[in-house]
């Protein structure tokens, strides 16, 4: 009988605790429902000059046999890598990004495709930290045998400073927008209940790379790095009061 009484008492206490918790949760939900909130977003942007570039380049060769295509490709690619090292790039700046071998066919109407050879390709992605060396590096690898250049992407070695500047702009814009909405609706800002962010450095899809010959000089490749846009987006939830 004593065990049964204790069990009943414990069960009653548990039910009472659960009821209290539900009541508290309901109270919190009611309070949140009664609050007037404002959910908005804003962005901040700053411009920054890039100080680093990545580019994918490589060698493509075609020969009657697969072995010949791969052998020629390996020889020419070794020359390209050697040229990159002469330009001051180290092992950490050169990464193989693609190796391919495919059969090549001649397609004619109403005739079975005819095998005419094999095409081998090898690409590396390089990182150049001195942008003044980018044009000469492209010229050097082209002279060494590279016949593929697939585009350039510019970056910042340390984006922290520009990102923080864009963050400050975004938060200031968010606060100004919140105050505008609050005034327009007859409220004032009570508190910032939640803040989240997104964004970062906006990549440049493709750099402008051109080749031209100048009088008395060999053909050179100028590269225009331009500027990067660093954009940070923030979203905030404000509680409004009368």
- CA-to-CA distance for 137 and 139, rounded, in angstroms? 5
The predicted model gives 113-122 an average pLDDT of 96
The predicted model gives 14-32 an average pLDDT of 58
Per-residue confidence (pLDDT) for residue 151, from 0 to 100: 83
Q: Among candidates 127, 151, 164, 150, which has minimal Cα distance to 53?
A: 127
The predicted model gives 102-130 an average pLDDT of 95
Q: Which residue has the higher pLDDT, 167 or 2?
A: 167
The sign of the torsion formed by the CA atoms of 217, 123, 127, 152 equals: positive
The predicted model gives 208-221 an average pLDDT of 45
Sheet containing 94-106: give its strands across.
Answer: 94-106, 114-128, 52-63, 148-155
Per-residue confidence (pLDDT) for residue 17, from 0 to 100: 60
Per-residue confidence (pLDDT) for residue 72, from 0 to 100: 97
pLDDT in tens, 127-164: 999 999 999 999 999 999 999 998 899 999 999 999 99
pLDDT in tens, 24-65: 655 655 655 568 999 999 999 999 999 999 999 999 999 999
Q: In DSSP terms, which residues pair with 236 in a beta bridge?
A: 40, 195
Write down the H helix ranges in 48-159: 66-86, 134-144
Q: Who contacts 169 (Cβ-Cβ below 8 Å, separation ≥6)?
A: 44, 45, 46, 232
Q: Who contacts 220 (Cβ-Cβ below 8 Å, separation ≥6)?
A: 135, 136, 139, 211, 212, 214
Task: Specify the DSSP class assigned to residue 203.
Answer: P
Could you tell me the pTM of the whole model? Answer: 0.69
Residue 185, SS3?
Answer: coil
What angle, rounded to 10 degrees, do the helices at 134-144 and 66-86 form? 150
The percentage of residues in the chain with a pLDDT greater than 90, rounded to a whole number, is 72
Q: What are φ and ψ of residue 111, in 5° steps? A: -135, 140
Q: What are φ and ψ of residue 211, in 5° steps? A: -115, 140
């Amino acid at each position: 009988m004593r065990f049964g009484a204790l069990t009943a008492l414990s069960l009653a206490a548990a039910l009472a605790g659960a009821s209290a918790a539900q009541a508290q949760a309901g109270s919190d939900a009611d309070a949140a429902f009664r609050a007037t909130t404002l959910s908005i977003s804003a962005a901040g942007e700053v411009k920054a000059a890039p100080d680093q570039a990545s580019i994918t380049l490589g060698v493509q060769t075609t020969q009657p046999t697969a072995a010949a295509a791969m052998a020629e490709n390996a020889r020419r690619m070794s020359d390209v890598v050697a040229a990159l090292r002469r330009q001051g790039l180290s092992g950490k700046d050169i990464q193989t990004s693609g190796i391919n071998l495919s059969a090549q066919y001649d397609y004619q109407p109403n005739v079975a495709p005819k095998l005419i050879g094999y095409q081998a390709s090898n690409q590396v992605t390089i990182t150049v930290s001195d942008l003044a060396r980018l044009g000469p590096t492209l010229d050097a690898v082209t002279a060494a045998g590279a016949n593929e250049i697939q585009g350039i992407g510019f970056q910042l070695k340390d984006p922290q400073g520009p990102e923080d500047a864009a963050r400050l702009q975004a938060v200031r814009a968010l606060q100004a927008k919140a105050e505008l909405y609050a005034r327009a609706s007859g409220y004032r800002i009570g508190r910032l209940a939640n803040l989240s962010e997104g964004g970062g450095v906006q990549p440049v899809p493709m750099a402008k790379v051109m080749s031209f010959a100048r009088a008395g000089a060999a053909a050179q490749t100028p590269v225009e790095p331009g500027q990067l846009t660093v954009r940070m987006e923030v979203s905030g939830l404000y509680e409004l009061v009368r």
